[in-house]
Structure 1
Amino acid sequence: MALVIAGERSGVGKTTVTLTLLASLRRRDRLVQSFKVGPDYIDPMFHQHVTGRACRNLDPVLTSEAYVQQCFAHHSQLSEYALVEGVMGLFDGVKGSRKSRGAEGHTSTTLSNRGSRGAEEKNNIQCPTDFASTAHIARLLDLPVVLVIDCSRLSGSVAAIAHGYRSFDPRIKIAGVVLNRVGSDRHLSLLKDSLEPLQLPILGVMRRQDNITIPDRHLGLVPTAELPELNALIARLADLGDTCFDWQHLLPLLKSEPLSFSASSSLFPSFPVRIAVARDRAFNFYYQDNLDLLQQLGAELVFWSPLEDAGIPKDIQGMYFGGGFPEVFAQQLAENSSVRDAVKTAILQGMPTVAECGGLMYLCEQIIDFEGKSWLMAGVIPTSAVMGGRLTLGYRRAVALQDNLLVKANTTVYGHEFHRSHLTLTPTQPLFETSRYDCEENMGCEGWGLPANVHASYVHLHWGESREIPQQFLKECLKLASSKTCI
């Protein structure tokens, strides 16, 4: 068993509730594995900071329904408790469904003691736009849901909200509610009186907290590495969690049960190479599964900082620049000219390099920040990244227009975009033709693959069900290792 923490909409405090639960469990020395529904990078950072274990993303668009089940089964059985944080409102997802790719070597999963719900569940979805929603994940994993309700501007209406969410899809089991942002004892009394006829357990009551806030900016919460007071905040959350939850009812629901799953016994080639992974305050958007896959395929990951280090790591055969906030640290990145020069030299000498979103921006000639100031970057890609107010957001279906570092021509991959920058020039030979995931709207061409050893794109990819992507990357890295021209 495990619990899904869902919100009745975005902004109701489900991340705060989740972190409070995790912090209190860790204070009790409980081993807990967390998961996050959707493509988010930042919330999992907070989960990991609290639990000491990498949070895992559950996203059937970026992977598949079967992969979501396999990922949950594998990681939850390694811990005492398991907790899944949802995304947006409980039933907020996308239109359509992702067909299972069934690629050679893909892991198949069978969940025991969880009913017959599986990949066919999508055929029975009552809400046509809840694929990849929190409700979809709860159905796939057959997990109960705790609904977080923002009570700051309501009293008696809380019952209508709770009743509506409980009855909308009878396949979803609402285990109870957490009442958040309760203003006073009188306010709480009104809420309880309204909910009493529903006989729906109140599993937690969180009062309005003026001293517990996590700062945010243009792409969401400020990442953990930039919050020096985070440990004190987590301690306050743990204090709160000790008293605001009904632990007698919550702990049995959170208890993780051993799950059986069958994994493919197919063997994969080993690629004994060293990959430099940029990881610091500017670059920290990575799916843990991607890093795990590289290591499982034989790669040694060398973490380094384009902000702080004097040069790139020695004896490497590949580089990986994830997303992040290079625009926030553009001046420091620009001032570290030795690293910028070393990155450019390595790439021009043939170093296979993957750069996603923020990594793409770093490989440009310059970043122009929100104030219009220009900062020199690595200068590999002949364009500039300009920050602006327009948010580009959503799942993408991307078809490769040419053979490139990661995929062959005409291969379809699924990814996610989330950025407020745009490039001043479009590539003459783009990597992908992209469209929205849930409709046929063409989003144009994007991605830079020149030099040919570079894969630079705004589209974030999760490699969980596409092992051929890291294999292709490492294969090119191994060529460099074999030539004995390691940099």
Structure 2
Amino acid sequence: MALIIAGERSGVGKTTVTLALLSCLSRRYRRVQSFKVGPDYIDPMFHQRVTGRPCRNLDPVLTSEAYVQTCFNRHLDGVDYALIEGVMGLFDGASGRDDVASTAHIARLLNVPVLLVLDCSRLSRSVAAIAQGYRCFDPRVQVAGVVLNRVGSDRHLELLQDALESLQLPILGVLRRQDSLTIPDRHLGLVPTDELTFLDQFIDQLADIGETCFNWEHLLPLLRAEIHDSTVTNQPLNVSGTQPITRIAIARDRAFSFYYQDNLDLLQQLGAELISWSPLADTRLPEGVQGLYFGGGFPEVFAQELADNIEARQAVWNAIIQGIPTYAECGGLMYLCQQVTDFEEKSWSMVGILPTKAIMGKRLTLGYRQATALQNTPLVLIGEKVWGHEFHRSQLTATPEHPLFKIRGYEPKGKTNVEGWQMHQLHASYIHLLWGERIEIPLRFLKCCQQFNSMI
């Protein structure tokens, strides 16, 4: 079994509760596996910092229901306890019309109970109506108990306990209101772990608080990892022949950190050697690489440092001109533009391969996208459809003459648009992809990389 942490809505403290539980479990038992519902990158960074294990994303839109089940069971193998952090409110799904891709959907799909986090900062007796409503809204979802978060005083707690007593719904945790239990955020969510100097101290503080604020006698049996279907834990990849080693340079530093671990694992299983390098600090690409991979991140925050590293920008430009297969998502796309204009309206030179500029703004573009390829690239073929996710506050100043994708939102009748760039052997798009079962995508990328005669 495992436990899924849900909230009545966004902002109630799911991540704080999740990290407190993970911190305690990791301190006690070490072998703890975490998961995150949805396409999030930053929350999984915090999970991994606590557990020492990569967090796995569970997203049935980007992948499939079958892949979610397979991924979950595969990563329960060899661990003691497992915990899933939900997304938004318990029943909030991709479309807003149903609960597809919601926390409730994943709870049903994996047959795991829910621990519901309630923000009690402005509640007393009404907490019972909220808890009862969530428990009864969908009888297929088992609410195992609640966590009362942001409780103000002993008297406040007494009122909450009295209100919930008649429901016979266990209170499995009580967190007092503490201003110090906050993680700084910015325009795309929490500040990533590599930028926080106080994080180890914060994790220790969470572990100390977690030791006393949760009902561990009740929680531990719920959290114990239990594989539901042993047939899906170690399925081999269906790839014929032995794959040659392919050296891929992957940009990893404070500016570029948005990568799904499943994608990286899949590349390695298919024969890739992933060589990390930093567009912030390194002046050249790693020797002998046959492909480049730029994930998302915050190039706008570190735009001056990226601009100042002229040698790295020139090295990337030269490699792409020479035809090295290159995969760039979101922040990676921005880095390949002519310029990035930050929130202070200062413009900084970037690689310059793409004949456009990225300008930061207040408008947030987000949501699931079905993308149909209009061009052949090292990853996709014309007419191929993929599901991805957009999440950015930048806009480009130019549209490609021959765009990479035709995209539409999650709603079948939603309006369509075009985006993305294909030139040389470059695939650059705002669309983040989680490949899941679609191993033909990384296989195609690696095949293109193997054909590149590296001159780096």
Range of TM-score over shorter length: over 0.9
Give the corresponding residue for 1:159.
Answer: 128
> Number of paired residues?
452
Of the three residues 105, 109, 119, the one matched with 1:140 is 109
Measured in 2, the distance between the counterparts of 1:271 and 1:422 equals 39
Q: Is 1:261 matched with 2:234?
A: no
Of the three residues 304, 323, 334, the one matched with 1:361 is 334
Of the three residues 273, 277, 284, the one matched with 1:300 is 273
- Asked if 1 retains the 8 angstrom alpha-carbon contact of 2:375 and 2:422, the reply is no
Instruction: Give the 3-state SS of the residue equivalent to 1:69 in structure 2.
Output: helix
Measured in 2, the distance between the counterparts of 1:182 and 1:438 equals 39
- Asked if 2 retains the 8 angstrom alpha-carbon contact of 1:268 and 1:297, the reply is no
CA deviation digits over 1:211-253, x for unaligned, max 9?
1210000000000000011001111101110000000000000
* 1:404, distance to aligned residue in structure 2 (A): 1.5
Q: Is 1:381 matched with 2:354?
A: yes
- Alignment of structure 1 residues 476-487 onto 2, 5 Å: 476-480=448-452, 483=453, 485-487=454-456
Of the three residues 412, 421, 426, the one matched with 1:454 is 426
Of the three residues 394, 399, 403, the one matched with 1:426 is 399
Paired-residue identity, %: 67
CA deviation digits over 1:424-476, x for unaligned, max 9?
0001111100000123222410000012x000000000011211110110010
- Alignment of structure 1 residues 202-351 onto 2, 5 Å: 202-259=171-228, 260-262=230-232, 263=235, 266-269=238-241, 270-351=243-324
- Asked if 1 retains the 8 angstrom alpha-carbon contact of 2:23 and 2:203, the reply is yes
Instruction: Give the 3-state SS of the residue equivalent to 2:366 in structure 1.
Output: strand
Measured in 2, the distance between the counterparts of 1:30 and 1:176 equals 25
CA deviation digits over 1:184-235, x for unaligned, max 9?
0000000000000000000000000111210000000000000011001111
Instruction: Give the 3-state SS of the residue equivalent to 2:231 in structure 1.
Output: coil
Superposed CA RMSD in Å reads 1.1
Given residue 457 of structure 1, which amino acid in structure 2 is its aligned partner?
Answer: S
- Alignment of structure 1 residues 84-233 onto 2, 5 Å: 84-95=84-95, 128-233=97-202
CA deviation digits over 1:73-111, x for unaligned, max 9?
00012311000000000000024xxxxxxxxxxxxxxxx
* 1:486, distance to aligned residue in structure 2 (A): 4.0
Given residue 191 of structure 2, which amino acid in structure 1 is its aligned partner?
Answer: V
Given residue 370 of structure 2, which amino acid in structure 1 is its aligned partner?
Answer: R
Instruction: Give the 3-state SS of the residue equivalent to 1:76 in structure 2.
Output: coil
* 1:128, distance to aligned residue in structure 2 (A): 4.7
Q: TM-score of the superposition, structure 1-length normalised?
A: 0.91
Give the corresponding residue for 1:62.
Answer: 62
CA deviation digits over 1:344-381, x for unaligned, max 9?
00000011000000000000001011111110000110
CA deviation digits over 1:247-280, x for unaligned, max 9?
0000000000134124366334514110000000
* 1:175, distance to aligned residue in structure 2 (A): 0.3
Measured in 2, the distance between the counterparts of 1:443 and 1:386 equals 22
Instruction: Give the 3-state SS of the residue equivalent to 1:430 in structure 2.
Output: coil
Instruction: Give the 3-state SS of the residue equivalent to 2:404 in structure 1.
Output: strand
Measured in 1, the distance between the counterparts of 2:185 and 2:29 equals 29
Given residue 173 of structure 2, which amino acid in structure 1 is its aligned partner?
Answer: G
Given residue 72 of structure 2, which amino acid in structure 1 is its aligned partner?
Answer: F
- Asked if 1 retains the 8 angstrom alpha-carbon contact of 2:29 and 2:80, the reply is no
Given residue 94 of structure 1, which amino acid in structure 2 is its aligned partner?
Answer: A
Given residue 373 of structure 1, which amino acid in structure 2 is its aligned partner?
Answer: K
Given residue 98 of structure 2, which amino acid in structure 1 is its aligned partner?
Answer: T
- Asked if 2 retains the 8 angstrom alpha-carbon contact of 1:38 and 1:58, the reply is yes
Give the corresponding residue for 1:71.
Answer: 71
Measured in 2, the distance between the counterparts of 1:14 and 1:22 equals 12
Q: Is 1:439 matched with 2:409?
A: no
Instruction: Give the 3-state SS of the residue equivalent to 2:166 in structure 1.
Output: helix
Measured in 1, the distance between the counterparts of 2:93 and 2:330 equals 23
Of the three residues 371, 391, 404, the one matched with 2:344 is 371
Given residue 56 of structure 1, which amino acid in structure 2 is its aligned partner?
Answer: R
Listed as ranges, the gaps of 5+ residues in structure 2 are none
Measured in 1, the distance between the counterparts of 2:223 and 2:134 equals 21
